[in-house]
Structure 1
Amino acid sequence: MMGESRKPLLFVSSSGDGVSNSLRVIATELARRGTEDLWFAADEERRADIEKIDVGTGVRFASLGDPVLEYSPSTWDDEVYRQIVQRSRWKAHRTVVRHTFGVATQAESFWKLSALVEEIKPALMIFDSVNPIALPVAFMWKVPYVLSSPFMPSNLFMTDTPRGFPMMHTGLPLNMSFQQRVYNTYFKTRAALMFLHPTMLKQIRESFAAVKSLQLPRKELTHPAAKTNFAELILCYSVFGLEYPIPVPEKLHMIGAVIPPLPEAQGDDDLSRWLDANPSVVYMGFGTITRLTRLEVHALVEVARRLDGRHAVLWKLPEKQQHLLPPWDDLPPNLRIESWVPSQLDVLAHPNVRLFFNHGGGNAFHEGLYFGKPQVIRPLWVDCYDQAVRGVDSGVSLTVDDPQTVDVEDVLDKITRVLDNPAFRERAEHFSKVQREAGGVRAAADLILGSPALK
């Protein structure tokens, strides 16, 4: 329906495809419906993605400047990356918090966003749950907002979870052994005490000072649950049954993965023909953040070689990492490597893709299940461990024994077990049905357009 809303709507995205893509898909759906005066504020690197939205009323892009290198995971230096993907989950959690905490590190983007809000006077803001600047801007200009999250809902409501619930980023199951309960308590305690470290105290003081200078309510705005407490709506791209049972407010809507109309892109005819010609394909894609080593790349090639004769392997490997490959004439014939695919969603939707081998990111995990694909997961960092353990407990995936390495025998064992046991596919297809019934992007658009702020 054309003209469903004439009041400005402002999307605000953090750096990184993981949180930006969902917002882009929702903004595109609103434009498709004829919603007028849509804005999308993000780092300059997102400009091309937004400006190519050419459906309906379109979306106007507003630049918040260049990405803050210290904040964006894709631009962290190698030392910070190593700290994030290290064996200690506690230390990885600490690294992420230290590099993403507070408003002070993004002062320039904050003021750009504030000026934009003053100019366009949005009736509603929609922003991701890890955005450090959107909440204080919404407070400053008294703009109601919708919170967007690709993570498990417990990530948002950790302060309200029952006693003994697995702490986020631990990758612990709901039903823990005694040793796991001890580690969970240790992790939670250190996570709380971390904010007493001089580095964190300095960041807290800077954030408090920034909030005070803006004459904003410090107590409310700096509360750990501030974003969820004051949100008008919370959109979470998961479904219950994957997440463990927790109490949640009525304003939380579990809508599953947000998938655009498919095919998403004009397909690569050669790739489409290759998928059509191979009745059983293992798709390997490890997100935009993963930085594989030469040993890991060679081990994954060996995994493909050992699957030859039974399964083909499609591997999306960034061009900047392809120099780590063996010589091209030494690659197994069942392996196809692409530096880029027109649409990962189109690949996952193909009926010949039988298994998704991925890093456990929130989007990858839920998108794979949306298309009924069982998975093998090699968790990359923090929240990936949480998706991985819920995948195991939901019967849709297996996790490699040691994510710090690529053990050829272990990976082959996990892939073979998932492919040979129809229960994994059946459970994945069950959650495909649940996600589609949850509504996805259509539900997100309906909920936003039904906001009292737009009446």
Structure 2
Amino acid sequence: MANTSLLPRRQSLVPFICFCVMIFTLPSSQGGNVLITTSLGEGSHYFVGKTIGKYLVKHGHNVTMLVSKAYAHRAENPDDAELNFIVFHQSAEQIESVKERHLSYSKNALEPSGAAYLYKLIQAHRKGAADDCDELLGQNPDVMRRLEEGNFDVVVYDMIWLCSLLLAMKLNVPAVLSSPMAAPTMLSMYAGNPVNLASTPDVMNGYNNKMTFFQRVNNVLANRVLYSVLEYHHVPYNSIRERHQIRPDLSGSISNLVGTYTDLFLVNLDFAVEFPLPLNPNIITMGGITARPASPLPNDLEAFMQSSGDGGVILFTLGSYVTHIKPEFLEPFAEVFQRYPQQKILWQLAGEPKFKLPPNVKTMPWLPQNDILGHPKTRLFIFHGGNNGFYETVYHGVPAIIIPLTGDAIDQGVRLKHHGFGIVLDKTNVTVDILRVAIDTILNNDSYSEAAKLLSSRLRSRSMHPGDRAAFWINHVIKHGGSYMRSPLIELNFIQRNLLDVIAFFLAVISVILVISCYCMKCTFRCCKRMCFTTKEKHD
């Protein structure tokens, strides 16, 4: 017979055992407080920051997103309930300015790419972004008090708004830079990463890593122009820093401080598709951070996908920044989609179109892009070339047509063409015939789909998801700091960094040796001549 007198004692141990199991199975990392301010609350830069935040929460950290009042609705999104939000106040005039600046991407989307386009875009944002910063630091006492009482261990910021770096300095906490763009040359300038412009194309150049002589010349010039434009963009933050007395003990301009104050650089690239280049230990790749296994679609969207039959679905979007564009640019798409009744088309389009849509087209103001790309019915992705969309289509192995519109989109087009899983079209020459040829080529040629699947397999073959990698390294900075990983190159000036002083020294040494050699040869020649003349006189 069982000893029933022991049952109550055993039962009383059950809660204690469960408590012990819970304690010992908690994540080993102690949760930190992380402030993320990767943009004012809109666009791909915000979505990358939010994704980093969700992975940090998964790893046991407390995450707070700082957003502008212009995008206060972000704090009410039930999908982001695990994140905390601080909304900083802005005047009605400044809120309108924020939204107008966001629309400037749409207004300038069809402008020719290049240095002039970049300058025009930065000019549209420069003063407004600085005013946002001034308003945050000087006219939001309650928000600043909450930030100071937040006991943050680290600030994750974005180059798009360097006020975030000033905020990290004001709170006296480490800073981690998040870059949604690949842009290796741009980051290298600030992180002190050695980069060879002979084989590493600069951002927005449209070159691959095998450049001709004149392309290399242009690459070097473009790199200097880009640096100058960014320096111009950063100038107002130096005045703001001085006005608000932020860390006067630290020397250097705000551009210098990007390298000397930042502990870690998170960059949205992966060498499964990027051109090879060396990286410092404090530059961590997180290519494809927004890409993940597809989640089930809403019922109405799933029904639409299934209704496509064997023809499948073509997904078309111009991204989160280009939400309004002139109808003349979009009309050829509506016309060409009409010629593919066997396919269904999902089109992300804000507002009502000013032209007639064919019956096989479904428009929505927002689409779960990653989940649609991961659906077995998706056959082709036509998009503007954003880096997040690029990595999502690679992750899911879907061939693509890129029409580079803004920023670094032209660079994604180069990689798409280089790896052979899609076609690049010129935004200044998008016609029905050109679209038809491009779509037919991809749908009727299996090589594009096979190349996409090969890249997908390569990208997925990694030890951890880039979100987990980003969270791991941010946690590392919280625990151990990251200054020990900084490159010593950031302490050197242009002459020292490029060894121009050493080259000058060698040239000087060689020049001295040549001068001495010439002098010795001249003396030897004179001696020989004198000896010959003396001998001749004696002979005579």
Report if TM-score (shorter chain) is over 0.5.
Answer: yes
Aligned mates of 2:235, 2:361 — CA distance in 1? 53
> Where does residue 398 of structure 1 map in the other structure?
423
Closer, same or farther: CA 449–355 of 1 in aligned 2, 3 Å: same
Deviation by residue 1:295-339 (Cα, 9 ceiling, x = unmatched): 222200112122233x322111112xx23222xxxx333322223
Q: Does 1:143 align with 2:173?
A: yes
> Where does residue 340 of structure 1 map in the other structure?
366
SS state at 2:315 partner: strand
Structure 2 unaligned segments of length 5 or more: list them.
1-24, 482-540
Aligned mates of 1:131, 1:34 — CA distance in 2? 27
Closer, same or farther: CA 140–434 of 1 in aligned 2, 3 Å: farther
| Equivalences for residues 79-118 of structure 1 within 5 A | 81-83=106-108, 85-101=110-126, 104-105=130-131, 106-111=133-138, 112=140, 115-118=145-148
Structure 1 unaligned segments of length 5 or more: list them.
none
Deviation by residue 1:178-234 (Cα, 9 ceiling, x = unmatched): 5544543453454456589xxx4xx7654333233424367534336x435543332
8 Å CA contact 1:89, 1:169 repeated in 2: yes
> Where does residue 458 of structure 2 map in the other structure?
434
> Where does residue 317 of structure 2 map in the other structure?
285
Aligned mates of 2:382, 2:230 — CA distance in 1? 36
Give the AA of the match of 2:278: P
Deviation by residue 1:274-304 (Cα, 9 ceiling, x = unmatched): 2123232111011122233222222001121
8 Å CA contact 1:71, 1:100 repeated in 2: no
> Where does residue 163 of structure 2 map in the other structure?
133
Alpha-carbon shift at residue 151 of structure 1 (Å): 0.6
Q: Does 1:168 align with 2:192?
A: no
Deviation by residue 1:32-76 (Cα, 9 ceiling, x = unmatched): 4443x3211122344433443568x9222111234956985x633
Q: Does 1:76 align with 2:101?
A: yes
Bigger Cα displacement from structure 2, 62-71 vs 387-396: 62-71
SS state at 1:176 partner: coil
Give the AA of the match of 1:76: R
8 Å CA contact 2:183, 2:203 repeated in 1: no
Find the partner of 1:383 among 395, 403, 408.
408
Q: Does 1:415 align with 2:415?
A: no
Alpha-carbon shift at residue 377 of structure 1 (Å): 0.3
> Where does residue 275 of structure 2 map in the other structure?
244
8 Å CA contact 2:197, 2:216 repeated in 1: no
Give the AA of the match of 2:222: F
Q: Does 1:48 align with 2:73?
A: yes
Alpha-carbon shift at residue 78 of structure 1 (Å): 6.8
> Where does residue 235 of structure 1 map in the other structure?
266
Closer, same or farther: CA 208–356 of 1 in aligned 2, 3 Å: same
Closer, same or farther: CA 192–227 of 1 in aligned 2, 3 Å: closer
Give the AA of the match of 2:65: F
Find the partner of 1:314 among 342, 346, 350.
346
Aligned mates of 2:467, 2:188 — CA distance in 1? 25
Give the AA of the match of 1:41: L
Q: Equivalent pairs: percent with the same residue?
A: 21
Closer, same or farther: CA 381–261 of 1 in aligned 2, 3 Å: closer
> Where does residue 222 of structure 1 map in the other structure?
254
Closer, same or farther: CA 218–399 of 1 in aligned 2, 3 Å: farther
Aligned mates of 1:143, 1:79 — CA distance in 2? 33
> Where does residue 82 of structure 2 map in the other structure?
58
Find the partner of 2:469 among 439, 443, 448.
443
Aligned mates of 1:191, 1:444 — CA distance in 2? 27
Bigger Cα displacement from structure 2, 281-290 vs 440-449: 440-449
Aligned mates of 2:234, 2:43 — CA distance in 1? 27
Closer, same or farther: CA 306–219 of 1 in aligned 2, 3 Å: farther
SS state at 2:413 partner: helix
Alpha-carbon shift at residue 452 of structure 1 (Å): 4.1
Aligned mates of 1:108, 1:117 — CA distance in 2? 15
Deviation by residue 1:385-440 (Cα, 9 ceiling, x = unmatched): 1111122112232110x212422222222222223333322332233233332512
SS state at 1:354 partner: strand
SS state at 2:155 partner: strand
Aligned mates of 1:208, 1:424 — CA distance in 2? 49
8 Å CA contact 2:32, 2:478 repeated in 1: no
Alpha-carbon shift at residue 177 of structure 1 (Å): 3.9
Find the partner of 2:154 among 119, 124, 147.
124
Larger Rg: 2
Aligned mates of 1:127, 1:348 — CA distance in 2? 29
Give the AA of the match of 1:340: W
Aligned mates of 2:374, 2:53 — CA distance in 1? 22
SS state at 1:76 partner: helix
Give the AA of the match of 2:473: L
| Equivalences for residues 153-192 of structure 1 within 5 A | 153-154=183-184, 156-159=186-189, 160-164=194-198, 165-191=200-226
Deviation by residue 1:59-99 (Cα, 9 ceiling, x = unmatched): 22111234956985x63387775445411422111123334
> Where does residue 504 of structure 2 map in the other structure?
none
Find the partner of 1:351 among 363, 376, 380.
376
Closer, same or farther: CA 371–262 of 1 in aligned 2, 3 Å: closer
Alpha-carbon shift at residue 124 of structure 1 (Å): 1.4
Aligned mates of 1:79, 1:42 — CA distance in 2? 19
SS state at 2:408 partner: helix
Alpha-carbon shift at residue 146 of structure 1 (Å): 2.1
Q: Does 1:295 align with 2:328?
A: yes
Aligned mates of 2:160, 2:389 — CA distance in 1? 18
SS state at 2:427 partner: coil
Aligned mates of 1:192, 1:323 — CA distance in 2? 40
RMSD: 3.2
Aligned mates of 1:305, 1:363 — CA distance in 2? 28
